[in-house]
Amino acid sequence: MVEMVIHIERASYCKSDKTLLKDIHWEVKKGEHWAILGLNGSGKTTLLNVINGYIWPNEGKVSVLGNDFGTIDLRELRKEIGWVSSSLQEKLYMNDKAEHIVVSGKFATIGLYDNPSEAQWVQAELFMQQLGCGHLKGRTFQSCSQGEKQKLLIARALMASPKLLILDEPCNGLDLFSREQLLEAIERLAQDEQAPTLLYVTHHTEEILPIFQHALLLRRGEVFRQGQLRDVLTSEQLSLFFETIVEVIVRDERHWVLPAKCEII
């Protein structure tokens, strides 16, 4: 039997008479890596908050990592979910050393107050090496570039051995070369047999690597399309999705969207 990582059935969420999610039905099986694509305000962050149990749908059912919401302690569930977002950077102590930032993920603390074991320090350094940021050992967090900080945050999330890892617009604010370096690190991570199930959240199709074989398209709080990447990221589908005629260029199994004409369809 295939293990289900996420099962959302007809879920809707409203706040202050505004519908933020409507009739969401979505399944993610173990071993699948998904991209979640949507413009600003499409409902991506709201959906992530539902998955993490920070908000509760007004209607529908949610199950994450085999746990039905309403039957479990969500605080315990969150220990199995890593969520990497740029907002976390603002909460961390800028003077902490890079390896301290990473190893603190084992204890889910902002700042390092515990006394990590030798094995935990070794594990932190291994994750840093895997993500291509081992050379940052001894550096303060504030002295690292934006791309380096994102790599450290991913390594930090891995310290908790999550079964589900959410990468929430990790390339936001990066220049072209820093973005490609980070994407290479994510690709290496995903190719590891022990890698968690990955969700990659973005509004840029060119960031979606070939390792993400499935895509969920969100628009105005609703699922527009979902399925195999090759079926979803087409010129026809994305023109309908963006409500503007676009052309999709596939290069090295990555999808680049070019506006054709500024015609609303």
Looking at the whole model, is its pTM more than 0.95? no
Q: How far apart, in whole angstroms, are the C-alpha atoms of residue 171 and residue 169?
A: 6
For the chain, the domains span: 4-259
Query: Nearest Cα to 34, choosing from 130, 180, 166?
Result: 166
Task: Judge residue 29's burial from the number of C-beta atoms within 10 Å of its C-beta, 0-12 exposed, 13-18 middle, 19 or more buried.
Answer: middle
One pLDDT digit (tens) per residue for the chain, 265 residues: 668 999 999 999 998 889 999 999 999 999 899 999 999 889 999 999 999 988 899 999 999 999 999 888 888 888 899 989 877 767 777 888 998 889 988 877 666 777 888 999 999 999 999 888 999 999 998 999 888 998 999 998 999 899 999 999 999 888 899 899 999 989 988 988 888 999 999 999 999 999 999 999 999 999 999 999 999 999 999 999 999 999 999 999 999 999 876 554 4
Q: What is the dihedral of CA 117, 119, 125, 128, to 10 degrees?
A: -100
Alpha carbon separation from 222 to 73, 75, 168 (Å, rounded): 28, 27, 19
Q: How far apart, in whole angstroms, are the C-alpha atoms of residue 241 and residue 163?
A: 31
Q: How far apart, in whole angstroms, are the C-alpha atoms of residue 257 and residue 206?
A: 7
Q: Provide the CATH number for the domain formed by 4-259 in this structure.
A: 3.40.50.300
Residues in the chain: 265
